[in-house]
Chains A and B, each alone.
Chain A
Amino acid sequence: MSFLSTYANPTRFLRFAEGALPWLSGATLLLLAIGLYGAFTAPPDYQQGETVRIMYIHVPSAWIAIFAYVVMTSASLGVLVWRHPLADAAQKTAANLGAAFTFICLVTGSLWGKPMWGTFWVWDARLTSMLVLFLLYLGLIAVRQTMDDTPRGARIAAIMTLVGAIDIPIIKYSVDWWNTLHQPASVFRIGGPSISGSMLWPLIIMTLAGTLLFLTLHVMAIRNEILRRRLARLSMQAVRAGEPAGDESMEPAK
């Protein structure tokens, strides 16, 4: 908890972001380079041939889509329990990132599905629950756009995030509970991974790179959100003090 109280202060967070971002983005770039090299040089699959390479984008983005929701859920607890502005910013920005990665996951999955399964889309449990996740993200973004930066908006989004969290276990276990067209888990499963080592290591590196990419983008987005709110507050104060806010030319004609 001492960690929380130290870094949950927006000013401290800005300082932390300034120090950490170069390292985070550097590590992301390095891992992405290694991962992409591995993805392009990995052997083709015995069944799918070269199309298997879509997996190196699809699986990490699916993982991040879920990871972002988990991050958002914990941020929502922060909003409701501690009412912390930083948790608010984290929740808001994670929704945008999560929606983007879910979209990438759905699109790459469709592109893989057309040649392999013979269809862009089927309504099986895994695909449908992932689509529901995308809709949940869009709904949460809509809340933020309707409610601006009010604490009310933050709490509505937080409550709906917690309610929607029920979809996460459904996504994870959908392939085990139902006979889906989507293949069952290959990496985290009883009896060890069913992916050959030469294909598994690029996948793991890409997943790590993706996670770091998400963290980098998330820290950047939180920083921007804090700065944006400060700017909004400062310009409000400036207007109240009778000064023209910002550029003169943007003022309405007198």
Chain B
Amino acid sequence: MTRKGKRLTLIAGAMAVLGLAAGLMLFALRDNIVFFYTPSELAKKQVAAGARLRIGGLVKEGSVVKNGHDVNFTVTDKTNDLAVSYTGLLPDLFREGQGVVVDGVLQPTGAFRADSVLAKHDERYMPRDVADALKKQGVWQGETK
């Protein structure tokens, strides 16, 4: 084989391997690797108690019960709910209807014991009066992510 022929074979081989890599990547991304799971994904997966994981969702309206530093609330994604208990300080953005990511351990009772609560902000930024006006007009699309 000539030098040029060898180079071409080499490049063709590399392209084939790259294609294989891309195929594997697409295969793997069907079940994507995520920073957090939603309560529905958790319900589907049937995770064993004691596993460490992160759950993301919205704080259900009217579910927050504060007792000193102990807080109980429900994380929802509008189809499934998950009861969460937490002890400690909450971030500023934590409020009902707002997105949160909780990090902790699933209890045998099916409830979730959080070690940390992170508030998730969405990509919308607006002044308060605009938000109020939008709510009034009914074009508010809810606090979904």
Q: Find out whether A and B make contact in their complex, taking CB atoms under 8 A apart as touching.
A: yes
B126-A199 in contact (CB<8A):
yes
Q: Quick check: is A115 within 8 A (CB to CB) of the other chain?
A: yes
* Cross-interface CB contact of A45 among B35, B36, B123, B125, cutoff 8 Å: B125
Give the interface size bracket for B toward A: 20 to 34
Contact A183:B122 (CB < 8 A) given known A116-B92, A116-B93, A117-B93: yes
B101-A45 in contact (CB<8A):
no
| CB of B59 to closest CB in A, whole Å | 13
Q: Quick check: is B105 within 8 A (CB to CB) of the other chain?
A: no
* Cross-interface CB contact of A186 among B90, B123, B127, B131, cutoff 8 Å: B123
A124-B35 in contact (CB<8A):
yes
* Cross-interface CB contact of A43 among B32, B33, B91, B127, cutoff 8 Å: B127
CA distance A183 to B145 in the complex (A): 9
* Cross-interface CB contact of B35 among A44, A179, A189, A198, cutoff 8 Å: A179
Q: Quick check: is A125 within 8 A (CB to CB) of the other chain?
A: yes
CA distance A198 to B130 in the complex (A): 10
A-B CB pair tally, cutoff 8 Å? 98
What does DSSP make chain A's interface, helix, strand, loop or mixed? loop
Q: Mark B89-133, 1 if CB is under 8 A from A, else 0.
A: 111111000100100000000000000111111111111111110
Q: Quick check: is A29 within 8 A (CB to CB) of the other chain?
A: no
For window 107-139 of A, CB contacts with B under 8 Å fall at 115-119, 122, 124-125
B90-A118 in contact (CB<8A):
yes
Chain B residues in 8 Å Cβ range of A47: 93, 98, 121
Specify the chain A residue showing the minimal Cβ separation from B95.
Answer: A47
Q: Quick check: is A232 within 8 A (CB to CB) of the other chain?
A: no
For window 28-55 of B, CB contacts with A under 8 Å fall at 32-36
CA distance A55 to B121 in the complex (A): 13
| CB of B68 to closest CB in A, whole Å | 18
A196-B91 in contact (CB<8A):
no
CA distance A199 to B90 in the complex (A): 27
What does DSSP make chain B's interface, helix, strand, loop or mixed? loop
CA distance A218 to B125 in the complex (A): 32
Q: Quick check: is A224 within 8 A (CB to CB) of the other chain?
A: no
A180-B122 in contact (CB<8A):
no
Q: Mark B62-96, 1 if CB is under 8 A from A, else 0.
A: 00000000000000000000000000011111100
CA distance A52 to B121 in the complex (A): 11
Specify the chain A residue showing the minimal Cβ separation from B38.
Answer: A179
Which of B33, B117, B120, B127 is the most central at the interface, judged by chain A CB atoms within 10 Å of its CB?
Answer: B127
A178-B92 in contact (CB<8A):
no
Chain B residues in 8 Å Cβ range of A51: 92
* Cross-interface CB contact of A117 among B33, B34, B118, cutoff 8 Å: B118
Chain B residues in 8 Å Cβ range of A196: 125-127, 130
Specify the chain A residue showing the minimal Cβ separation from B124.
Answer: A194
A55-B125 in contact (CB<8A):
yes
Contact A48:B121 (CB < 8 A) given known A178-B32, A179-B35: yes
Which of A48, A178, A196 is the most central at the interface, judged by chain B CB atoms within 10 Å of its CB?
Answer: A196
A sample of 13 more A-B contacts (CB under 8 A), given A125-B35, A179-B56, is A43-B127, A43-B128, A45-B127, A48-B125, A117-B118, A118-B119, A177-B32, A179-B32, A179-B35, A180-B35, A186-B123, A195-B124, A199-B127
Ranked nearest first, the 9 interchain pairs of A and B with the lowest CB-CB distance are: A118-B91, A43-B127, A196-B126, A46-B131, A179-B34, A46-B128, A186-B123, A195-B125, A194-B124
Which B residues are within 8 Å of any A CB, using their own CB? Answer: 32-36, 56, 89-94, 98, 101, 116-132
